[in-house]
Amino acid sequence: MLTLRKAARIISDLFIPPTFNLLGFTLIAYKTEELASNRITIILSSVIFGVILPILLFSIMRKKKLIYDNDAVIKEQRHIPYYAAIVLSLLGMTSIYLFAYNSYAFYYWLTFGITTLGLTIINYFWKISAHAIGVAAFLAIIYLLESTFFSYFLILLILIGISRLILKVHTPMQILMGTIYGFFVTLFLMKIFIGS
């Protein structure tokens, strides 16, 4: 059982929401952008605003004991990282607009901000899995861009959900609702914005 818990911890720590932010923007860059310089800018916007700054903020909050554990199991401790993610998505969107306009990347940042705003509101009343939202949003982008990776990441979604259950940080319903919310809100908003 200890080995299973260690494996769950590794999966949970490796596949955090910023991981899927980066994967989503990388997929968008290579599937929708022809200019190499724009691809780099799209990926760089994710690295800065979707990976480095959120992880840095979370780490600072952990060090200052504003968040008690790596899973932020107390839902009230998630508010500041969620607010920051909304602001960072606006900055990411602005960077795409100014330096390498790509409609998919621009609207994915907007969708990310809107989804996080919804998550923030939900979080005041109930905790759902941000891990599940992150991978499910990425699955929606894979689905939209007709990538062949969908089934692989569907399996990864299941593994991540199981890892969150093993670690006892979410209930099955919190994981299921995070998955449904992340996939369908992302799919719905991107279809509206892109017009496909």
**Which phi and psi angles does 74 have, rounded to 5°?**
-85, 115
The residues near 68 (Cβ < 8 Å, ≥ 6 apart) are: 74, 77
In this structure, which amino acid lies at residue 76? E
Average pLDDT for residues 69-77, to the nearest whole number? 86
- Extract the tokens encoding 152: 């692989």
Per DSSP, the three-state class of 100 is: coil
Contacts of 65 (CB under 8 A, 6+ apart): none
Query: d(Cα 181, Cα 63) in Å, to the nearest integer?
Result: 31
Q: What is the pLDDT of residues 114-133, one digit of tens each?
A: 999 999 999 999 989 999 99
Is the pLDDT confidence value at 92 over 90? yes
pLDDT mean over 156-166: 93
Nearest to 96 by CA among 88, 136, 114, 119: 88
| Predicted model pTM | 0.92
Predicted confidence at residue 108, as pLDDT, reads: 98
